Amino acid sequence: MQAHGAYDAHRSLLPPAATMLIAEQKRRYRDDGYLVLPRFKSLQAIAALRERARQIVDAFEPAAGGAVFSTREQNADAWFLGSADSVRCFFEEDAFDATGQLRVDKALSINKIGHALHDRDAVFERFSRGPELAEVARALGIAEPLIWQSMYIFKQPGIGGEVRWHQDATFLHSEPVSVVGFWIALEDATVDNGCLWVAPGGHRGPLRQRFVRDGDTVRLVTLDDTPWPAPASARPLEVAAGTLVCLHGLLPHYSAPNRSPQSRHAYALHAIDGRSRWSHDNWLRRSDVPRGFVSDPD
């Protein structure tokens, strides 16, 4: 895995400037709750990941499960809960017509693949680990990163579903909250095709909800009634393919539906700091202990 572009080039060629760059980036992350690092992944690495995702979807037999993923309904079935430790496909909510038939080809109907790609697939494993991501995690203050979750998000043309305002710590809780999202654009993300929207500085607010699991049932529990940010305070993150966006676990963010003819593929990793205490009533349960960003097992 080889990152390229100004961020890495600056760091390796100009150490003093790189230190300032990272200090500025750290300040931005601390103040805004997010950080945008363009040209973090090479186009070749992205092409390899997209091809592997295409193969996974191609091999996916909907009869094997294929739950619809909805952030509106938070349906927790066995297909969803079992994905914590495996590689499973989920359909877009609007993929099916009234008779239950797919409206478009399967390859254009999948909402996402989750949630252990980084540990259960060799191509995704390579993309998800390496010194560049390890360095960013360290710079953001995650001393002992543990990657708990990975998602390949398709945001399909025309039917790509919205993801409403949320905080990632709702779904990946620890005490204290330490989760950071590493969101990588695999295609150019624009307002038209459903880019991320963030509320700069909103990570200084409280955690509003928790997604709590009890046995095989899950529910959203309200912790704090603080309203979601006003629409006018949301900022779109229009970024080019290859850009890494780091999101603080308390930062409110959302993405709108994709009604455009362009897909908006992205890959997201979520890591917590091993110094914090993983909440065992999180929905996500694994048979093994997650690893960090270094390529070899810890």
Chain positions contacting Fe ion, by CB under 5 A: 168
Q: How far is the CB of 166 from Fe ion (least distance, A)?
A: 6
Q: How far is the CB of 255 from Fe ion (least distance, A)?
A: 8
Q: Which residues, other chains included, contact 90 with Cβ-Cβ below 8 Å and sequence gap of 6+?
A: 66, 67, 68, 69, 79, 80, 83, 110, 111, 112, 113, 114
Q: Nearer Cβ to Fe ion, position 20 or 191?
A: 191
Tokens for 171, please give them: 């779904």
Neighbours of 122 (CB within 10 A): 8
Question: Concatenated DSSP letters for 21-39?
Answer: HHHHHHHHHHHHSEEEETT
CA distance 257 to 173: 26
Q: What angle do CA 257, 260, 263 make, to 5 degrees?
A: 80
Buried-state track 234-272, b at ≥16 Cβ within 10 A, e below 16: beebbbebbbbbbbbbbbbbbbbbbebebbbbbbbbbbb
Q: How far is the CB of 153 from Fe ion (least distance, A)?
A: 10
Q: How far is the CB of 5 from Fe ion (least distance, A)?
A: 24
What 3-state class would DSSP assign to 211? strand
Neighbours of 78 (CB within 10 A): 10
CA distance 84 to 286: 6
Q: How far is the CB of 170 from Fe ion (least distance, A)?
A: 9
Tell me, what amino acid is at 212? V
In sequence order, the β-bridge partners of residue 20 are: none
Q: Nearer Cβ to Fe ion, position 22 or 239?
A: 239
Q: Nearer Cβ to Fe ion, position 8 or 168?
A: 168
Q: Nearer Cβ to Fe ion, position 89 or 245?
A: 245
Q: Nearer Cβ to Fe ion, position 197 or 293?
A: 197
Q: Nearer Cβ to Fe ion, position 32 or 168?
A: 168
Q: How far is the CB of 261 from Fe ion (least distance, A)?
A: 25
Q: How far is the CB of 62 from Fe ion (least distance, A)?
A: 26
Q: Nearer Cβ to Fe ion, position 121 or 168?
A: 168
Q: Nearer Cβ to Fe ion, position 92 or 168?
A: 168
Q: How far is the CB of 226 from Fe ion (least distance, A)?
A: 18
The residue number whose beta carbon is nearest to Fe ion equals 168
Helix (H) or strand (E) holding 127: helix 122-128
